Every structure is written in structure tokens, then in C-alpha cells.
Amino acid sequence: MKASFFMFFNYLAMMGVPVLLVLLAISALVFPGSGIRTVLLILIAAGALVYGIIGIREAFVHGRRHNETAAR
């Protein structure tokens, strides 16, 4: 699949959501009972939603083209 405007957001979420998840774990360890996790969870939810929607487009819509082969 070609690099595109949409894929930029996919790559951003692909790397950003794991970073936010690790920050969530660190915040649970360092600041228990802090409100920072609400902010992190909102960002994680936004990233995961974008990632999921673009992922459906990439894997299940574009990936459905039966003539698409690895040789191309």
C-alpha cells in the first residue's frame, strides 16, 4: 500500500498508542490516584479509534484485492 495522508495517522497511532500505554503503566506506579490517567485514556481511545478505522481500510478493504501480489 502506498504511503498516504491516512497512513500518516496510522503510523502515528501505531507508535503513539504504545508510548501512551507505557506512560499509563508508569503513572499507575508513580502517581497512584492521580487524574492524569483520564487524560491518557482519552488520548489512547482517540489513537486506538483512528488506528482501528484506518487498519480496517488497510487490511480488510485494500487487502481484499485478489490480484494484489507480493511481486508487484
Radius of gyration for the alpha carbons in the chain, expressed in angstroms and rounded: 16
22 is a contact residue toward another protein (CB under 8 A): yes
Q: Which of 7, 9, 12, 55 binds another protein (CB under 8 A)?
A: 55
Question: Residue type at 54?
Answer: I
Q: What is the DSSP letter of 31?
A: S
CB 40 within 8 A of CB 27: yes
C-alpha cell at 5: 495522508
7 is a contact residue toward another protein (CB under 8 A): no
- Residues in contact with another protein by CB under 8 A are 14-15, 17-18, 21-22, 24-26, 28-29, 32, 37-38, 41-42, 44-49, 51-53, 55-56, 59-60, 63-72
